[in-house]
Amino acid sequence: MIPPIASKFVAGESPAEALEHTRHLNDRNVKAILNLLGEHYHERGPADEDAEAYVRLLEDIDTAEAEACISVKPSQVGLDVETTVFRENMERITDAAAKKDVFVWIDMEDHETTDATLDTFEELTRKHEGGVGVCIQANLKRTEEDLKRLADLPGKVRLVKGAYDEPESIALKEKEEVNAAYREYLEFMFEEFDGGIAVGSHDPAMIEYAKELHEEHGTDFEIQMLMGVREDAQYELAEEYEVYQYVPYGGKWLSYFYRRIMERKENLLFAVRAILS
């Protein structure tokens, strides 16, 4: 059992708890993106184990008839071991997902992983005719070129601002610059993509801009936010738009929870209040 203090951001330790949370979301028209917490494995054993856990989760999603997809971190399934391990495990997961008709997202990690992640995405999304999506980061200078490549591929693309502290030589460092790039990439996606656009942001300004672009171009899109962040907005948006909540679960919840409370002072206050009560 995870302590109540962490349960705002993490659905529980087990797949059953993640699916219970999914049921509540589905009742409010929000779909789930399930993520088993874990990353940066340097040996094949734990990477294979987590890949296997995802395969079992796909069975559970199917049995529960849940409106849910999954999202996998490359270093969780072997990218820090060897690119071929990552590729093999992702293929195993996407093959199993295709049988159950469940969509698979590939999260994006730091810039050293971008090429391997995009190459594997391209291969798998062609194999599974669009049953796979990849995340792309507005703070990286290379993203303009990457989006041109992605425009010609089936599947979905989740645009985020970028969570990793990248060197200035390859990344935008100022918040305003990243926001401007995010808008510019949204414009490109709404103009050039046939659909499959995911706005992975809590920022009301970016979501509003995506809505405007949708009105202008008619291209389909979805909004994705994290569990525990602007949940009222998620439910409200779900009355009109397709909304997904990213739902982390699993035994490795502590470092994820720590990241969430450190990134925003309101989250820290929430944690302190929960301890005091």
Binding piece for ligand FAD, criterion CB under 6 A, among 50-58, 78-86, 118-126, 158-166:
158-166
Question: How many CB atoms are located within 10 Å of the residue 245 CB?
Answer: 26
**Among the residues of the chain, which ranges form H helices?**
15-27, 44-64, 83-100, 114-127, 143-151, 175-192, 204-217, 231-237, 253-262, 265-276
Least gap, CB of 112 to ligand FAD (angstroms):
13
The answer to whether the CB of 104 falls within 8 A of the CB of 160 is no
Residue 108 vs 210, nearer CB to ligand FAD? 108
Q: Report the residue number, 150 or 160, with the smaller CB distance to ligand FAD.
A: 160
CB closer to ligand FAD, 155 vs 200: 200
Decide whether 121 or 190 has the Cβ nearer to ligand FAD. 121
**In which residue are the tokens 């996606």 written?**
189
Q: Encoding tokens for residue 140?
A: 């990286």
Which residue in the list 107, 142, 232, 259 is annotated as catalytic? 107
Residues 268, 79: Cα–Cα separation, whole Å: 32
Question: Tokens representing 197?
Answer: 């656009």
Is-catalytic flag, 44?
A: no
Identify the residue among 34, 58, 225, 271 touching ligand FAD (CB under 6 A).
225
Among 61, 161, 185, 243, binds ligand FAD (CB under 6 A): 161
Tokens of 2: 């995870």
Least distance CB 267 / ligand FAD (angstroms): 6
Contact 21, 62 (CB under 8 A): no
Q: Does 135 bind ligand FAD (CB under 6 A)?
A: yes
Decide: is 226 part of the binding site for ligand FAD (CB under 6 A). yes
Asked if 246 is part of the footprint of ligand FAD (rule: CB under 6 A), the reply reads yes
d(CA 198, CA 190): 11
Alpha-carbon distance of 152 to 67, in angstroms, equals: 27
Q: Is 107 a binder of ligand FAD (CB under 6 A)?
A: yes
Query: Which one of 3, 195, 204, 251 is in contact with ligand FAD (CB under 6 A)?
Result: 204
Told to judge if 183 belongs to the known catalytic residues of this protein, a careful annotator would answer no
Q: Which residues bind ligand FAD (CB under 6 A)?
A: 107-108, 135, 137, 160-164, 200-204, 224-226, 229-230, 246, 264
